[in-house]
C-alpha cells in the first residue's frame, strides 16, 4: 500500500495540474511584479513576499503555451525546491485533494503539449478528470532552460 499524499490542484489552459503540498510555501493573489530586464521571457520579474524578493515565472510561458491575460482567478503559487524559492503564475488554484501514489501512472510522451520529463505522472481523479503531476526540479532546471532558449532562438 503506497502512501497518501496531499496535492494542490491548479489550472493552466484546459488542463489540471498537481504539486505536492509540502513543496508549496503559499498561494498568493496576483500582486505587483517588478520586471527584470535581460532575462528569459517567461520570467515575469520579482515580487516582494513579506520582505523576501522572489522571482516569478509564468508557467504557461515556461511550457511554451500561449500566455493569457491575468484575471481575478490568477494566482501565484510559491514553491520551494532545492532551496530555491520561485513563484508560478497559474490560471487558478482552488483545490487540495488526497491522492494515493499508486494512482499515479507514468505519463505518456506528451500531455497537454508538455514534454514528459517535466511530469512525474498522471493521476485519474474521478469522472474522467486527469491530474498532471509536475516534476518541479525539472521545471526549474536551469541548464535545461539554456538549451530550450538556444533551441527556440
Distance between CA atoms of residues 74 and 89, nearest Å? 7
Stretch that binds another protein, among 37-45, 69-77, 112-120, 122-130 (CB under 8 A): 37-45
The distance of closest approach from Cβ of residue 1 to another protein in the complex, given in angstroms and rounded to an integer, is 36
CB closer to another protein out of 55 and 112: 55
The distance from CA 60 to its chain's CA centroid, rounded to whole angstroms, is 9
Report 52-91 residues binding another protein (CB under 8 A): 52-55, 57, 83-86
Cβ atoms within 10 Å of 45's Cβ, excluding its own = 16
Written as one string, the DSSP assignment of 15-40 is: EEEEEEGGGEEEEEE----B--SSS-
Under the binding rule (CB under 8 A), the answer on residue 153 touching another protein is: no
Written as one string, the DSSP assignment of 113-132 is: TEEGGGEEEEEEETTTEEEE
Among 4, 6, 34, 94, binds another protein (CB under 8 A): 34
Cell of 38: 535581460
Report 91-150 residues binding another protein (CB under 8 A): 140, 142
Name the residue among 93, 46, 91 with its Cα closest to residue 69: 91
Under the binding rule (CB under 8 A), the answer on residue 26 touching another protein is: no
Stretch that binds another protein, among 4-12, 51-59, 105-113, 128-136 (CB under 8 A): 51-59
Stretch that binds another protein, among 12-20, 33-41, 96-104, 123-131 (CB under 8 A): 33-41
Amino acid at each position: 500500500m503506497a502512501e497518501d499524499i496531499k496535492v494542490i490542484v491548479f489550472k493552466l489552459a484546459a488542463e489540471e495540474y498537481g504539486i505536492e503540498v509540502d513543496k508549496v510555501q503559499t498561494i498568493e493573489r496576483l500582486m505587483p511584479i517588478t520586471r527584470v530586464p535581460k532575462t528569459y521571457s517567461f520570467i515575469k520579474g520579482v515580487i516582494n513576499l513579506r520582505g523576501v524578493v522572489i522571482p516569478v515565472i509564468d508557467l504557461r510561458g515556461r511550457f511554451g503555451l500561449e500566455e493569457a491575460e491575468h484575471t481575478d482567478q490568477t494566482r501565484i503559487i510559491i514553491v520551494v525546491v532545492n532551496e530555491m524559492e520561485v513563484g508560478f503564475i497559474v490560471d487558478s488554484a482552488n483545490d487540495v485533494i488526497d491522492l494515493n501514489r499508486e494512482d499515479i501512472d507514468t505519463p505518456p510522451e506528451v500531455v497537454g503539449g508538455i514534454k514528459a520529463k517535466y511530469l512525474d505522472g498522471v493521476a485519474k481523479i474521478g469522472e474522467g478528470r486527469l491530474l498532471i503531476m509536475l516534476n518541479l526540479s525539472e521545471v526549474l532546471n536551469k541548464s535545461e532552460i539554456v538549451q530550450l532558449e538556444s533551441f527556440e532562438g
